[in-house]
Amino acid sequence: MLFKPNPSSGVPIYLQLMEQIKHAVETGALAAGEQLPGIRKVAEDLVINPNTVAKAYRELEHEGVIELRQGAGAFVAERARGARGQQQNEARAEQLRGMLPAVRNLLAKLEALGLTEEEMRRLFEGELTRLREGAGETAVQRKKR
Amino acid sequence: MLFKPNPSSGVPIYLQLMEQIKHAVETGALAAGEQLPGIRKVAEDLVINPNTVAKAYRELEHEGVIELRQGAGAFVAERARGARGQQQNEARAEQLRGMLPAVRNLLAKLEALGLTEEEMRRLFEGELTRLREGAGETAVQRKKR
DNA sequence: ATGAGTGTACTATGACAGTAGTACAGCACA
DNA sequence: TGTGCTGTACTACTGTCATAGTACACTCAT
């Protein structure tokens, strides 16, 4: 298991960990019931404090993504409802995996243009915001009226 | 002008502001020399503290994205080198805008699948990480050997 | 029963984001 | 020459992230 928090991104490490684990669960890379590496192991691998990992695990349990069993370890929740409302499991994971090629294809194009990782992120986030808001128009366009 | 920091994302507001302004400059939505809204105005619109906006502007000036002229206001730097090394300007903005349809197309597909914004973000970030790392294999796949 | 490994629970500390409030300094336009 | 707008610069305070260190409680395999 190898997660990779980016300490310089401004996003708290424990949040990044949570996101990456959720992603692994959502795509089925981590199967339901599967055991996650121990707190100390993860902390050691990533050279971060065990408390930080513990916090991520605790939050994930609170969200129902994983189950913590004292003395036993951390496990992906059986009826992993992930970040969604109800059950999803394999069917949904399949759906998500099906989108991977499209995502990778886009990223490849962006990389071919010489975009930095930051620029890609901004591009994506920017359009995501546009989607979230009313849609049709950009924030800046709105101003120009 | 309407930027939209997401206070619950864990990313510092001033960083989000910076990202969104950079994005606007990169895509040409904000033209070189154009004036940005005042610190107090932005702070009022977003219901955040003027100091937070000031910090974002200050950092952006330090990065050469904008110019601050006391008493006059904030302006997009003429030879906006953005987050890149040298000049880019209109040519590069054109390139970036050219990619927008592809990005929107992907987002539309993801939305059609009923993905939440969070899931989209994780999908993108996950693949971005994969790209950054050695490529071929996923972190979790690596474990399973 | 023992021991290694697991999660849990504290306390303390440092760094920094963000808020709040105030005052000052420069530019532009009527 | 003002008046109102701009950015600049403080100080103080609160909350959170992350680290560090320690101790405890539970589980599982031997």
pLDDT value of residue B42: 94
pLDDT value of residue A25: 93
pLDDT tens for each residue of A2-57: 788 887 888 999 999 999 999 999 999 999 999 999 999 999 999 999 999 999 99
Judge contact between B54 and B46, C-beta under 8 A. no
- Asked if A20 and B113 come within 8 Å (Cβ–Cβ), the reply is no
Task: Tell me: pLDDT of A126 over 60.
Answer: yes
Residues 85-144 of A with CB under 8 A from B: 95-96, 99-100, 102-104, 106-107, 109-111, 113, 115-129, 131-133, 138-143
pLDDT tens for each residue of A83-101: 444 445 778 888 899 999 9
Q: Provide, in whole angstroms, the distance separating residue A62's CA from nucleotide C9's C1'.
A: 17
A29 touches strand D (CB under 7 A): no
pTM: 0.85
pLDDT tens for each residue of A136-145: 444 443 333 3
Percentages helix, strand, coil for chain A, rounded to the nearest 5? 55, 5, 40
Q: Which residue is nearest to nucleotide D9 (CA to C1')?
A: B51
Judge contact between A6 and A46, C-beta under 8 A. no
B110 touches strand D (CB under 7 A): no
The dihedrals phi and psi of B40, each to the nearest 5 degrees, come to -65, -35
pLDDT value of residue B92: 82
Q: How far apart are CA A82 and CA B115, in angstroms?
A: 12
- Tokens of residue A142, six digits: 């709105």
Judge contact between B142 and B134, C-beta under 8 A. no
Within 8 A by CB and 6+ apart from A86, the residues are: none
Residues 53-72 of B with CB under 8 A from A: none
Task: Tell me: pLDDT of B135 over 80.
Answer: no
